[in-house]
């Protein structure tokens, strides 16, 4: 056998071995590549197992909004029909202080920008409260193009873009009924941008659920959204909204269906969940603290009002 022939045979054998290694490793290489190219949604919460769930005073039976206080430690809450802001202990959830800002109304949510508090009514009317619990406390009222037909229920601050976000539970009869909208009020002049910041679409939710892996919770979500009584109508009705302090994702609550939808800053749906009614009977308020701990408040109907705390 010639030297050249042995050399050629060795080269072919080495090539075959190399290709065999590549083929054997390909699934692993591909999975690593896919994992690297798939952005993590960074939603680290166990929705079925909050870190704690605390019952509230009956005075907060109709709790409708929740926010982190200016001190970054305590919580602020409001409820339907009473123009009172409640300061809550973040551990026991006991009422520490009551701050009246107007006599009465249909108050839906609360948020904080610096030391200034904002409360919204279902009509879209906004109240700005400064110097709370002092002799200099002042409350100013602002109207905008939103009305009772929009049924505003969610309010949160978006300091990065110098604006407030208002989540509408309903759409006026002149608008399509299979979508709901989140609008922005610029700060500090509180001018409304009539182009929605976020469009919550029934079609997007159904498509997301149909692509999602099989799960009893996802099946419940799909059954709720596609119920014959709601044909062509989005049953998901925003009752609260918050922005995650790190990811900047929008967390949107819906008391109807006990659902939570999570959107990326550019409006892509990332997650849907439906809470068990024994955990959150009617979720209405939502906020984060600086560590990413998530607080969700639920009205009391057949059960006591509660706040559930979810930690990453």
- The phi-psi region of residue 27 (left if phi > 0; otherwise alpha if psi is between -120 and 50; otherwise beta) is alpha
> Which residues pair with residue 126 across a beta bridge?
120, 142
Residue 28, pLDDT score: 38
For the record, the structure tokens of 245 come out as 């302090």
Q: DSSP letters along 258-306, please?
A: GEEEEE-TTS-EEEEEE--TTT-SSEEEEEE-TT--EEEEE--SSS--E
Which of 35-49, 85-99, 212-226, 263-277 is the least confident region?
Answer: 35-49
> The pTM is what?
0.86
Task: Give yes or no for a contact between 290 and 302, defined as CB atoms under 8 angstroms apart.
Answer: no
pLDDT digits (tens, 9 = 90+) for 87-112: 999 999 999 999 999 988 899 999 99
pLDDT digits (tens, 9 = 90+) for 22-32: 334 433 333 33
Enter the CATH code of domain 52-310: 2.120.10.30
Which of 13-22, 159-168, 273-282, 290-299 is the least confident region?
Answer: 13-22
Q: DSSP letters along 49-91, please?
A: S-SEEEE--GGGTTEEEEEE-TTSSSEEEEETEEEEEEEE-TT
Task: Give yes or no for a contact between 267 and 282, defined as CB atoms under 8 angstroms apart.
Answer: no
Which of 40-44, 81-85, 111-115, 159-163 is the least confident region?
Answer: 40-44
Mean pLDDT of 150-154: 97
Mean pLDDT of 67-83: 95
Using a pLDDT cut of 90, give the percent of the chain over it: 80
Task: Give yes or no for a contact between 112 and 287, defined as CB atoms under 8 angstroms apart.
Answer: no
Sheet of 250-254, strand order: 238-243, 250-254, 259-263, 269-274
Which of 40-54, 165-179, 272-286 is the least confident region?
Answer: 40-54
81 to each of 105, 144, 199, 215, 311, how far by Cα in Å? 5, 21, 29, 39, 31
What are the φ and ψ backbone dihedral angles of 168, each rounded to 5 degrees? -100, 130
Q: Is 199 helix (H, G, I), strand (E, B) or coil?
A: strand
Which of 17-21, 271-275, 296-300 is the least confident region?
Answer: 17-21
Residue 49 has pLDDT above 60, yes or no: yes
Task: Give yes or no for a contact between 236 and 280, defined as CB atoms under 8 angstroms apart.
Answer: no
Residue 11, pLDDT score: 52
Residue 43, pLDDT score: 80
Residue 22, pLDDT score: 38
On the question of a cis peptide bond just before residue 188, with omega within 30 degrees of 0, the verdict is: yes
Residue 248, pLDDT score: 96
In the chain, where the domains are located: 52-310
Mean of the per-residue pLDDT values of the chain: 88
What are the φ and ψ backbone dihedral angles of 12, each rounded to 5 degrees? -65, -40
What are the φ and ψ backbone dihedral angles of 139, each rounded to 5 degrees? -120, 125
pLDDT digits (tens, 9 = 90+) for 231-290: 889 999 999 999 999 999 999 999 999 999 999 999 999 999 999 999 999 999 999 999
């Amino acid at each position: 056998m010639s030297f050249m022939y042995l050399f050629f045979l060795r080269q072919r054998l080495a090539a075959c071995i190399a290709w065999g290694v590549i083929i054997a490793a390909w699934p692993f290489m591909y999975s690593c590549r896919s994992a690297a190219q798939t952005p993590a949604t960074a939603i680290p919460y166990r929705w079925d197992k909050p870190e704690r769930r605390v019952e509230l005073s009956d005075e907060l039976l109709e709790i409708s909004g929740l926010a982190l206080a200016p001190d970054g430690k305590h919580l602020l809450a409001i409820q339907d029909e009473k123009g009172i802001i409640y300061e809550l202990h973040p551990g026991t959830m006991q009422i520490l202080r009551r701050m009246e800002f107007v006599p009465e109304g249909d108050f839906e949510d609360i948020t904080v920008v610096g030391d200034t508090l904002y409360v919204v009514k279902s009509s879209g009317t906004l109240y700005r409260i400064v110097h709370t619990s002092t002799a200099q406390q002042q409350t100013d009222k602002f109207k905008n193009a939103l009305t009772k037909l929009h049924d505003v229920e969610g309010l949160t601050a978006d300091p990065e873009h110098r604006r407030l976000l208002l989540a509408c539970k309903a759409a006026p009869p002149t608008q399509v009924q299979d979508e709901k909208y989140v609008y922005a009020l610029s700060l500090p002049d509180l001018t409304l941008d009539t182009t929605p910041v976020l469009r919550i679409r029934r079609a997007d939710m159904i498509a997301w659920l149909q692509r999602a892996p099989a799960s009893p919770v996802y099946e419940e979500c799909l059954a709720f959204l596609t119920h014959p009584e709601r044909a062509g109508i989005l049953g998901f009705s925003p009752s609260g909204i918050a922005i995650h302090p790190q990811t900047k994702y929008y967390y949107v609550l819906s008391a109807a269906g006990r659902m939570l939808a999570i959107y990326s800053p550019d409006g892509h749906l990332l997650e849907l969940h439906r809470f068990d009614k024994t955990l959150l009977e009617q979720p209405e308020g939502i906020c984060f603290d600086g560590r990413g701990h998530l607080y969700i408040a639920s009205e009391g109907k057949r059960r006591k009002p509660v706040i559930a705390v979810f930690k990453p």
